[in-house]
Structure 1
Amino acid sequence: MPPDVPPQPFWRIALPHSTAAVPIARALVRTALAELEAPADSDTAELLTAELVANAVEHTDGSGPIELVVELLASGCQVEVHDHDPEPPGDLSGLLPESTPDPWQEHGRGLLLIRALSSACGHRPTEHGKAVWFTLPSGPPPPGPAAR
């Protein structure tokens, strides 16, 4: 990185591999965004972070750590959840799912939420598994039809 470009502020925190990680991650994202003075919507960041952490806890075997990374970007923020499983998550491409989630089921809508509410999302391999991420733009989300 050139010397005249300051590094972007970020938080990196290890989480327990248990359901207790979800509320911890929500609180950490709220605190990180406040401390970094991130202009992104904290409520949306908390919700999407909870989805990523819950997926990491549910879909990995617990033999490796889960890590939360929150980074302030010029255009908003990026949140990543790292786990040790190299298998990619479900569809984050933005394509429609093969079937609509059953409204009575407890699971099946997390990745849809992430795709719908983030400005970008995806996953990438890491040295020890993968990182699943989303970005949020600066400012609150635009008002939807219900807010008018």
Structure 2
Amino acid sequence: MTTLLESLPHRHVVTLPAEPSAVRLARQTAEQVLTEWGVNAGHATVGPALLILGELVTNSIRHAVPPSDQVTIVFAVGANCLAFAVHDRRPHQPRLCDAGAGNPGGGLATVMKLTTGLGGTAVVRGDGDGRGKSIWITLPLGPPYATTQGRRQA
């Protein structure tokens, strides 16, 4: 993941209190930084990415408090990739699986369905101290990704 992040020139990190307003603030922050980075708000990946982000932040608030009193979100974008992570200090690492016969739905099933439907990936990474984790989502960001630098236009 470090190599991927190094190849993504735009990065932003925000830490929010683990309370319901964090979902709205995380989505607003994502919309703002994506716009600042020149990502077309109408791009087919943006809407589902915001849904995934909202679901991950909601899950973090529901399941990680306590011990985690805050949630940290990392956003990164490159010419062909959008990545973000939601981090909390609950050590439990959930299993990421698609909705199916054995898993009828719910938060992470929805996250996986949207992520894989877009051709993306999801991974859970534990903290080095074993006391927290991040769920990383990586989504392809092909055309029409409009940038202010003029690399691609919608």
Q: Deviation per CA, 1:63-95: give whole Å up to 9, x if none.
A: 432101001134221110000011112x31447
Considering only aligned residues, what root-mean-square deviation do their CA atoms show, in Å? 2.6
User: Offset of 1:111 from its aligned partner?
Assistant: 1.3
Normalising to structure 2: TM-score of the pair?
0.72
**1:73/1:7 CA distance change after superposition, 3 Å:** closer
How big is the shift at 1:14?
A: 0.3
8 Å contact kept, 1:38–1:77? no
Does the 8 A contact of 2:99 with 2:110 survive in 1?
A: no
Find the counterpart in structure 1 of residue 73 from structure 2.
68
In the alignment, the residues of structure 2 paired with residue 87 and residue 71 of structure 1 have an alpha-carbon distance, to the nearest angstrom, of 25
Q: Give 1:11's aligned residue.
A: 12
Deviations 1:18-77 (A, max 9, x none): 011011111111112111224662211111100000000000124432101001134221
Judging changes above 3 Å, is the alpha-carbon distance between structure 1 residues 34 and 95 closer, same or farther for their aligned structure 2 residues?
A: same
Structure 1 runs (4+) greater than 6 angstroms displaced: none
SS in 2 for 1:18: coil
For residues 24-43 of structure 1, what are the structure 2 equivalents within 5 Å?
24-38=25-39, 41-43=45-47
Are residue 52 (structure 1) and residue 49 (structure 2) matched? no
Within 1, Cα distance between the matches of 2:102 and 2:67?
A: 31
Is 2:126 the partner of 1:129?
Answer: no
For the structure 1 residues 31 and 55, does the alpha-carbon distance in structure 2 shift closer, same or farther, using more than 3 Å as the test? same
Aligned length: 130
Is contact 1:17-1:62 (8 Å) kept? no
Shift of 1:136: 1.6
Q: 1:80 aligns with which of 80, 85, 88?
A: 85
Q: 5+ unaligned residues in a row in structure 2: which ranges?
A: 144-154
The corresponding residue for 1:22 is: 23
Offset at 1:96?
3.6
Q: Which residue of 2 aligns with 1:112?
A: 109
Q: Give identity over the alignment, percent.
A: 28
Listed as ranges, the gaps of 5+ residues in structure 1 are: 102-107, 141-148
Q: Deviations over 1:72-124 (max 9, x none)?
A: 134221110000011112x31447451424xxxxxx2x212211222111110
Q: What TM-score comes out, normalization by structure 1 length?
A: 0.75
Quote the Cα distance in structure 2 between the aligned partners of 1:74 and 1:86: 33
Change in 2 beyond 3 A, CA 1:129/1:30: same
